[in-house]
Amino acid sequence: SQQGEEDPQALSIQEGENATMNCSYKTSINNLQWYRQNSGRGLVHLILIRSNEREKHSGRLRVTLDTSKKSSSLLITASRAADTASYFCATLSRLGANNLFFGTGTRLTVIP
């Protein structure tokens, strides 16, 4: 399977702490994306990192990519209660046509 796998499955932290989620994948990639899903809602794109990039920042988000280990991490700094959501990594599918394979997600709970 080409599917990404997130780790941990669930994470619970206090507001203000940092949250780190990891994603591993199995095949070579052109880019890797991270999405957030609030409970009962559709997914929202957070950030895309290309295979020739090692690190990328967007606001309180920091994403790293290690293509030699086929892994990526998403760091959310100074977490807020509003960051409570599920986070998914996604890589391009072998089906082509911009299809994505999504991992099973990390459920993040930020306690106020």
Partner 1 sequence: NAGVTQTPKFRVLKTGQSMTLLCAQDMNHEYMYWYRQDPGMGLRLIHYSVGEGTTAKGEVPDGYNVSRLKKQNFLLGLESAAPSQTSVYFCASSYVNEQFFGPGTRLTVL
Q: Among residues 45 and 54, whose Cβ is nearest to partner 1?
A: 45
d(C-alpha 10, C-alpha 105), whole Å: 8
Q: Among residues 15 and 47, whose Cβ is nearest to partner 1?
A: 47
Q: How far is the CB of 100 from partner 1 (least distance, A)?
A: 6
Q: How far is the CB of 65 from partner 1 (least distance, A)?
A: 15
d(C-alpha 62, C-alpha 95), whole Å: 29
Q: How far is the CB of 16 from partner 1 (least distance, A)?
A: 29
66: Cα separation from own chain's centroid = 14
37: Cα separation from own chain's centroid = 11
β-pairing, 31-37 with 10-14?
A: unpaired
Q: Among residues 16 and 57, whose Cβ is nearest to partner 1?
A: 57
- Where along the sequence are the contacts to partner 1 (CB under 8 A)? 3, 31, 33, 40-45, 48, 88, 93, 95, 97-100, 102-105
13: Cα separation from own chain's centroid = 17
